[in-house]
Amino acid sequence: MPELRKDPIVGRWVIISTDRAKRPTDFLRNKVVQKGGFCPLCPGNEQKTPSEVLAYRPDVAGGGQKNGPGWTVRVVPNKFPALTIEGTLNRQAEGMFDKMNGLGAHELIIESPEHFSHMAVLPGRQIENVLWACRDRMVDLKQDRRFKYIMIFKNHGEAAGATLEHPHTQLIALPIVPKHVSEELEGAKQYFNIKERCIFCDILRQEMENPVRVVAENEDFLIFAPFAPRFPFETWIFPKRHESAFENLSSHQMINLAAALKQLLLKCDVALDGPAYNLALHTGPLQEGSLDYYHWHLEFIPRLTNTAGFEWGTGFYINPTPPEESAKFLRESEMPAGK
């Protein structure tokens, strides 16, 4: 019999089809393939992007000059930004409606000079560099008091919305807190008001006690399938220590976060044949300081179904793979040697 399960943070019910549970081989295999061709993010084409806002260049002779080659990670404003950095918010009413200028930053974090690469196969140290670049940009943009929230996310593969195939992560700084974040914040706050405990910490404890949904873990992070996932093989990465702001990560945690990310992505590449995916950082609002009730984390969603008509039309989710099964598949999928 199918099950209705409730996400404890935001209160969303989802249908988990237990009867005809889909296994990895039941999904479309849309392996992400990089075609190559001219790429504005490749070394040598630095002039084709807006001027870099950050780059890591090895501290050796020939490490390169600003907007030249020699970088390991490079951050540039999006050439076609969804938001503009210049101006004031100019909050206005239009009758009963509210609007403001689309002020914000939209940046690309180029993860490697190698075009034909992908986060799963980058060396751990390079993934760390990418994570440090995200953090550095957050800390810098946080100085701009117009911004209330920074979204960091990654679309891998065309099916996941990527328009450039060179490995990159995106950053969007916003003058508002997006709805899906406010919902998490509000749900977590309500729980804290009653229990005086962080709901994410409670979830961590329960998942670790009975690890049926655990994919893997290391000293600092737990990788697991949530109890009420919207999508098949949806997987979350929680830091084990309570902290609401991603930017407060220690360097020890950074090493282990890079390792956890790499482990999850490699396992998915093996189990699901290199799928397109979306990865998103959920962190606290910029200007609120440390929160007792919120816990930053990563959400990973592979794109395994061609269509998402049902959810689009109804706002309601039917997930054909129970998280206990998706976790088992990923737990048991071996990483290829040498990766």
Q: Which of residues 298-337 bind a copy of itself (CB under 8 A)?
A: 301, 303, 306-310, 312-316, 318
What's the gap between Cα 40 and its chain centre?
A: 23
Task: Report the site for a copy of itself in 170-189 (rule: CB under 8 A).
Answer: 172, 174-176, 178-182
Q: Exposed (0-12), middle (13-18) or buried (19+): which is 129, by Cβ within 10 Å? A: buried
Contact 208, 277 (CB under 8 A): no
Residue 273 DSSP code: T
Task: Return the number of the residue (41 or 298) whose C-beta is nearest a copy of itself.
Answer: 298
Smallest distance from the beta carbon of 176 to a copy of itself, in angstroms? Answer: 5
Task: Return the number of the residue (2 or 40) whose C-beta is nearest a copy of itself.
Answer: 2
Annotate each residue in 260-299 with x if it binds a copy of itself (CB under 8 A) or - if it does not, as one string: ----------------x-xxx-------------------
Smallest distance from the beta carbon of 138 to a copy of itself, in angstroms? Answer: 15
Smallest distance from the beta carbon of 89 to a copy of itself, in angstroms? Answer: 8
314: tokens are 């109804």
Task: Report the site for a copy of itself in 33-62 (rule: CB under 8 A).
Answer: none
Produce one character per residue of 288-305: b if its CB has 16 or more CB atoms within 10 Å, e if not: eeebebbbbbbbbbbbbb
Task: Return the number of the residue (62 or 315) whose C-beta is nearest a copy of itself.
Answer: 315
User: Which one of 87, 139, 252, 287 is in contact with a copy of itself (CB under 8 A)?
Assistant: 87
Please indicate whether residue 156 is annotated as part of the active site. no
Q: Is 130 in a helix, a strand, or coil?
A: helix
Task: Return the number of the residue (239 or 320) whose C-beta is nearest a copy of itself.
Answer: 320
Contact between 202 and a copy of itself per CB under 8 A: yes
Task: Report the site for a copy of itself in 223-242 (rule: CB under 8 A).
Answer: 227-228
Q: What is the dihedral of CA 329, 276, 283, 145, to 10 degrees?
A: 180
State how far the alpha carbon of 74 is from the alpha carbons of 57, 83, 128, 185, in Å: 9, 20, 13, 32
282: tokens are 């959920």
Task: Return the number of the residue (20 or 47) whose C-beta is nearest a copy of itself.
Answer: 20
Q: Is 321 in a helix, a strand, or coil?
A: coil
Task: Report the site for a copy of itself in 107-126 (rule: CB under 8 A).
Answer: none
Smallest distance from the beta carbon of 257 to a copy of itself, in angstroms? Answer: 18
Annotate each residue in 4-33 with x if it binds a copy of itself (CB under 8 A) or - if it does not, as one string: xxx-x-xxxx-xxxx-x-------------
Contact 326, 301 (CB under 8 A): no
Q: Exposed (0-12), middle (13-18) or buried (19+): which is 73, by Cβ within 10 Å? A: buried
Question: Cβ atoms within 10 A of the Cβ of 102, count?
Answer: 13
Task: Return the number of the residue (72 or 319) whose C-beta is nearest a copy of itself.
Answer: 319
Catalytic annotation, residues: 168
